[in-house]
Amino acid sequence: MKVFEGLKFKRGTTAIHRLDPRTKFLISCIIFTLALLFTELISIIILFIAQIPFIFSARIYKEWSRSIRGSLTLVAIILLTNLIVGYVSNNFQLSSQLLTYSISMAFRFVVLMSSFSLFFLTTSPDDLSLALEQSHIPYEFCFAFTTAVRFVPVLAIEAQTIMDAQRSRGLELDKGNFLKRIRNYIPILIPLIVGAIRRSLELAEAMESRAFGAKKKRTNLYILQLKRSDYITFLISFIILSLALYIRYNITIPDIQIPL
């Protein structure tokens, strides 16, 4: 459940927090694009290191590292899948190239995770909703999206309670072989999903009784406005993106190889 904690907004007043949500979203998107553009281990490492100053200046190191640690299981799965598929399709031969590639694929996921973590940890759901609305996305979609984001931590807490309740009935989650362990999660997942569906129906009723959708055009108390710092960030991000694109298509990147 640590993964979800890394997506929960942490209130703050740092320069990163004060950036317009649209700017932050753009930064995350650029990191995302770059991570998908490059497959070399060295570029992925550079992308990872590039995020670290942001993490520290936003003072979210603790939460961020928690989300990264939480995603390690998935990272291991990606690494293993790449290794196995590569090994089989390569006539059952393990090469140093394959190893490097698999590691960079797994590390790429860490970069993606980290960029999302950075965005969600520093952007309040309210700001996010405003940003979407002001980008002319229909309010129903904005509402659905922000509600989903807002309920992630609630679901995480509920999952913990359900786990406690089932363990009190003698369920041992980390007992048995791999398949048995997956099956152990059924008693957790069913109440969690049923609860989420039930809650969404209740929420819909509650929203409707508060006149959701009564007027086509809603008014907002706050209006987002891009500041100078946002324009500067925009500019820098675009320069970096163009530079990266240039490098990607015109320069061969010297790649490191991890020896077997």
Partner 1 sequence: MIEVENVSFTYPSGVEALKEINLKIKDPDFIAIIGENGAGKTTFIKHLNGILKPTQGEIYVNGVNTKKASVAELSRDVGLVFQNPDHQLFCETVEEEIAFGLKNFGFNKDTISERVTWALNLLDLTKYRKVSPFMLSGGERKRVALATILSWDPKILVLDEPTIGQDFNQKEKLRQFIIQLNSQGRTVIMVTHDVEFVADCNPNVIVMSNTRIINTGSAREVLTNFDLLAKASVLPPQITQLFTQLSDLGLPQNIIDFYKAKQLIIELTKEKLDNEGL
Residues forming contacts to partner 1 in the complex (CB under 8 A) are 158, 161-162, 164-172, 186-187, 190-191, 194-195, 198
Which candidate, 20, 111, 31, 28, places its Cα nearest to that of 71?
Answer: 111
Cβ atoms of residues 60 and 121 within 8 Å? yes
* 254 burial level (CB within 10 Å; 0-12, 13-18, 19+): exposed
Nearer to partner 1, 110 or 188 (CB): 188
Nearer to partner 1, 168 or 250 (CB): 168
Nearer to partner 1, 84 or 186 (CB): 186
Min dist. Cβ of residue 200 to partner 1 (A): 14
* 208 burial level (CB within 10 Å; 0-12, 13-18, 19+): exposed
Min dist. Cβ of residue 197 to partner 1 (A): 11
Nearer to partner 1, 91 or 168 (CB): 168
Min dist. Cβ of residue 90 to partner 1 (A): 43
Which candidate, 41, 63, 173, 187, places its Cα nearest to that of 114?
Answer: 63
Nearer to partner 1, 170 or 254 (CB): 170
Min dist. Cβ of residue 152 to partner 1 (A): 16
Min dist. Cβ of residue 170 to partner 1 (A): 3
Cβ atoms of residues 140 and 86 within 8 Å? no
Nearer to partner 1, 49 or 165 (CB): 165
Min dist. Cβ of residue 66 to partner 1 (A): 10
Please state, in angstroms and rounded to a whole number, the distance separating the CA atoms of residues 62 and 64: 5
DSSP string for 135-193: TT--HHHHHHHHHHHHHHHHHHHHHHHHHHHHHTTT--TT-SSHHHHHHTTHHHHHHHH
Sign of the torsion formed by the C-alpha atoms of 135, 141, 143 and 144: negative
